[in-house]
């Protein structure tokens, strides 16, 4: 048998990757995605290794093949980033996603072009069956910190082979098209952004697309609406990066999205709506329009939400920026006289802050209850003692509470201008 088995030599245009790499849904038993537990390159590496097995029947590979041939990295980039790649592969082994062995004489493989009697994908699948009568041989796992970039190793286990057709119908993994990956690579290169981050964002969105049979299609003909907080939890990307990258994806017709505006809840609080995403094909406008109507209808009927349109709301970061600038100018005013331009800017910022406060007091009635706020603050200090209240309220999508906490914490000097806690812990600072 040569390098490529006839059984696997076929015209494949996509591979399948587990949803767990890029997303976590409320019913999932695992706590973190693989790109959070193993590293942001985990999904891309899984795609590359799966592609090698699926389309080429290759299970012998080395780090240079992955980084230089598949990702197009230069020698300098490989040298600077190979530590991260090694750590990710080691974590993937620990998680049981893959298993690897060093190239051995018994495999009769001295180089990638002479594999001898190489195991095929079907061989691996047979070995993965739980009732296999042949007990697997115990072998020491590979430590990628000790592997040279040109040193060959064998893929001996791949969790994709354990996914049944029934699980596929349940939508436990998504399909990654080779053509789409090439587009993502080109887009990342043209815009000088990180390909792995772009890959992760694209597929955490696309993997949620469903059709009427609740099956995740390979190219996505449906819609999804994960919040920024959900995407951040799944991928580790910041909201700023998400907004930047999703716009680039939209500009290149890889995805399209709309936002139906703010939602005023029955308790008087205000929430931003999540974006509604779909693929950038010729029908995207009609699909988003239809989904927006459905989203607004169900939210109104089920939760009593009132949609107040696409107002130019001040984001949490913008509010923080206003407060930080005011504090800077007020501090400067104490030591030296402000020039006319600075004084005008200070007056303007104070007016903007007053408008925000007025709007907040009008729309967020629950905040006027100081006892309620005190209970909430103490609860979050207990649950997340090493995190600022500003960040804790952001995590639970309480933007109004987050803004108030930012004002108070900044004034007390316990956070920096980005909302990061400057003290070690809040445990000794729980209000009685």
Helices 121-128, 42-56: inter-axial angle, 10-degree rounding: 120
Q: Is the pLDDT of residue 5 over 50?
A: no
In the prediction, which pLDDT does 409 show? 85
In the prediction, which pLDDT does 186 show? 96
In the prediction, which pLDDT does 257 show? 94
| 50-66: average pLDDT | 78
What percent of the chain clears pLDDT 70, i.e. is strictly above it?
A: 70
Q: How confident is the model at residue 352 (pLDDT cuts 50, 70, 90)?
A: confident
d(C-alpha 432, C-alpha 422), whole Å: 22
Q: Is the pLDDT of residue 418 over 70?
A: yes
Q: Is the pLDDT of residue 126 over 90?
A: no
In the prediction, which pLDDT does 397 show? 56
In the prediction, which pLDDT does 308 show? 74
In the prediction, which pLDDT does 22 show? 93
Asked if residue 153 lies in contact with residue 102, where contact means CB atoms within 8 angstroms, the answer is: yes
pLDDT tens, position by position, 62-82: 999 899 989 999 989 998 999
- In a 3-state reduction of DSSP, which class is residue 307? strand
Structure tokens at 19: 């949803």
d(C-alpha 263, C-alpha 269), whole Å: 8
Q: Measuring CA to CA, how many Å separate 366 from each of 330, 360, 374, 409, 413?
A: 30, 10, 12, 20, 26
User: What per-residue string of b and e applies to 239-268 under the rule 16 or more CB within 10 Å gives b?
Assistant: bebbeebbebbbeeebbbbbebebbeeeee
In the prediction, which pLDDT does 140 show? 60
pTM: 0.63
In the prediction, which pLDDT does 89 show? 93
Report the alpha-carbon angle 99-87-140, nearest 5: 35
What percent of the chain clears pLDDT 90, i.e. is strictly above it?
A: 24
Strand ranges for 293-349 from DSSP E = 306-307
Structure tokens at 185: 């690579």
Q: How confident is the model at residue 245 (pLDDT cuts 50, 70, 90)?
A: very high
pLDDT tens, position by position, 377-403: 766 776 677 888 888 777 665 556 777
Highest mean pLDDT among 34-43, 49-58, 288-297, 313-322: 34-43
- In a 3-state reduction of DSSP, which class is residue 15? strand
Q: Is the pLDDT of residue 120 over 60?
A: no
d(C-alpha 174, C-alpha 192), whole Å: 27
Dihedral of CA 154/156/157/161: which sign? positive
CATH 3.30.1330.40, applies to 193-307? no
* Mean pLDDT value across the chain: 76
CA-based end-to-end distance of the chain = 75
Structure tokens at 79: 């040298």
Q: How confident is the model at residue 368 (pLDDT cuts 50, 70, 90)?
A: very low
pLDDT tens, position by position, 166-187: 554 455 788 899 999 999 999 9
List the domain boundaries for the chain. 14-132+139-162, 193-307, 316-429
């Amino acid at each position: 048998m040569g390098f490529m088995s006839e059984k696997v030599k076929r015209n494949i245009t996509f591979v399948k990757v587990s949803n767990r790499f890029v997303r976590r849904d409320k019913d999932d038993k695992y706590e973190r995605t693989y790109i959070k537990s193993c590293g942001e390159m985990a999904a891309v590496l899984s795609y590359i290794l799966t592609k090698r097995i699926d389309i080429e029947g290759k299970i012998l590979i080395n780090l240079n093949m992955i980084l230089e041939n598949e990702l197009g990295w230069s020698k300098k980039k490989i040298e600077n980033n190979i530590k991260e790649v090694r750590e990710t592969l080691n974590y993937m082994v620990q998680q049981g996603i893959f298993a690897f062995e060093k190239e051995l004489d018994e495999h009769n493989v001295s180089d990638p072009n002479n594999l001898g009697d190489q195991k095929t994908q079907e061989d691996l699948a047979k070995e993965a069956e739980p009732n296999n009568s042949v007990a697997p041989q115990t072998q020491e796992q590979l430590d990628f910190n000790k592997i040279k970039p040109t040193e060959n190793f064998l893929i001996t286990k791949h969790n994709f082979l354990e996914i049944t057709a029934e699980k596929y119908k349940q939508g436990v993994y998504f399909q990654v098209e080779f053509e789409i990956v090439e587009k993502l690579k080109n887009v990342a290169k043209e815009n000088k952004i990180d390909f792995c981050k772009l890959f992760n964002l694209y597929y955490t969105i696309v993997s949620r697309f469903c059709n009427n049979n609740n099956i995740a299609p390979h190219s996505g003909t449906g819609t999804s609406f994960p919040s920024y907080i959900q995407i951040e939890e799944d991928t580790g990307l910041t909201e700023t990066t998400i907004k930047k990258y999703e716009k680039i994806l939209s500009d290149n017709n890889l995805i399209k999205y709309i936002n139906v505006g703010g939602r005023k809840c029955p308790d008087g609080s205000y929430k931003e709506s999540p974006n509604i995403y779909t693929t950038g094909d010729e029908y995207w406008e009609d699909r988003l329009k239809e989904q927006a109507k459905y989203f607004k209808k169900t939210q109104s009927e089920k939760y009593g939400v009132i949609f107040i349109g696409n107002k130019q709301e001040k984001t949490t970061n913008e509010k923080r920026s206003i407060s930080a600038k005011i504090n800077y100018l007020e501090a400067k005013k104490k030591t030296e006289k402000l020039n006319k331009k600075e004084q005008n800017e200070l007056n303007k910022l104070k007016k903007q802050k007053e408008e925000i406060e007025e709007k907040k007091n009008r729309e967020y009635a629950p905040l006027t209850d100081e006892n309620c706020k005190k209970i909430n603050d103490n609860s979050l200090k207990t649950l997340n003692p090493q995190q600022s209240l500003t960040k804790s309220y952001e995590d639970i999508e309480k933007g109004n509470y987050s803004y108030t906490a930012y004002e108070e914490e900044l004034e007390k000097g316990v956070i920096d201008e980005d909302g990061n806690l400057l003290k070690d812990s809040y445990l000794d600072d729980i209000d009685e």
